Amino acid sequence: MSHDLYELARQVGLEASAFVRTNRPSGRVDVAATKSSATDVVTELDRACERLIRERIFAARPDDGFIGEEGDDIVGTTGVDWVVDPIDGTVNFVHGIPSYAVSIAARRDGAVVAGHVVNIATGLEWGAVLGAGSWRHEGDQKVRLAAPQPPPLAQAIIATGFNYVPEIRARQSAAVAKLLPHIADIRRIGSAALELCALAEGQYDAYVEQGLHVWDRAAAGLVATEAGFIVTGLDGEPDERMVMAAHPDATAEYFDLVRACGF
């Protein structure tokens, strides 16, 4: 059944991605409103994309629940609910930086069982099913993802992201300043979903971000977990808003450093 949920997530994700790509005007996209701060923007296409995804999911599975970044919060009766970010990386989308994604996860009884992420600008897509691994789609093929052995900290690339609330950003930037002298480098794509997929690809060695929402990380968190990474809170316990992810052999060392830097 999780595979069926995955196929639906992928089918809807690809349609939503094509819809956004086709309708995105060239140049900058107008901001329709702001949310948690003046930096936290939303466009009409974020909203239209969430509507399209909701309609397609409910056409196939009318009794499921549905949570979306742009305000949907519908309780279902089947035990399955969908967690959707219609455009993760909205700031990139507005500016035309080609790193923004549709992210669709299916949960059963609260646990993510299937997830699909597609980079709208490039068409690259990733998927995972609980217990069945994670992959990048290449044409008709699925290229399996597997976490590489972690390097020593001095050679590690750690990805992160920044919350939209200025007070949280101030703390995050102070933590980054402390972390940087200990590692090879920091990366920040601007889409938590794409950052977790890049981790799953083995491009990064760890990922840390405080202040995420469930839709930012539900699908890509499963992609990283199924590739063999630990994705958890900073204290090693699941945490809805804080994500720390690294190879199991590196968590003690990486997590200790990140904690000591004040993330």
- Contacts with ligand IPD, residue ranges (CB under 6 A): 69, 85, 88-90, 161-163, 190-192, 209, 211-212, 216
Q: Do 53 and 84 contact (CB within 8 A), yes or no?
A: yes
The residue nearest ligand IPD at its CB is 161
Q: What is the CA 156 to chain-centroid distance, rounded?
A: 21
Q: What are phi and psi of 196, to 5 degrees?
A: -70, -35
- Among residues 134 and 163, whose Cβ is nearest to ligand IPD? 163
Neighbours of 30 (CB within 10 A): 10
Query: Nearest approach, Cβ of 61 to ligand IPD (angstroms)?
Result: 24
- Among residues 61 and 221, whose Cβ is nearest to ligand IPD? 221
CA distances from 246 to 6, 124, 145, 188, 231 (A): 25, 23, 14, 16, 7
- Among residues 125 and 209, whose Cβ is nearest to ligand IPD? 209
- Among residues 89 and 115, whose Cβ is nearest to ligand IPD? 89
With tokens 């008709």, the residue in question is 140
CA distances from 239 to 34, 210, 231, 249 (A): 26, 10, 10, 21
- Among residues 73 and 109, whose Cβ is nearest to ligand IPD? 73
- Among residues 89 and 150, whose Cβ is nearest to ligand IPD? 89
- Among residues 191 and 232, whose Cβ is nearest to ligand IPD? 191
Query: Nearest approach, Cβ of 84 to ligand IPD (angstroms)?
Result: 11
Q: What is the CA 227 to chain-centroid distance, rounded?
A: 15
Query: Nearest approach, Cβ of 77 to ligand IPD (angstroms)?
Result: 28
Two tokens at 255? 């997590």
Cβ-based neighbours of 227, under 8 Å, separated by 6 or more: 128, 133, 134, 145, 146, 147, 199, 200, 201, 202
HEC sequence for 47-108:
HHHHHHHHHHHHHHCCCCEEEECCCCEECCCCCEEEEEEEEECHHHHHHCCCCCEEEEEEEE
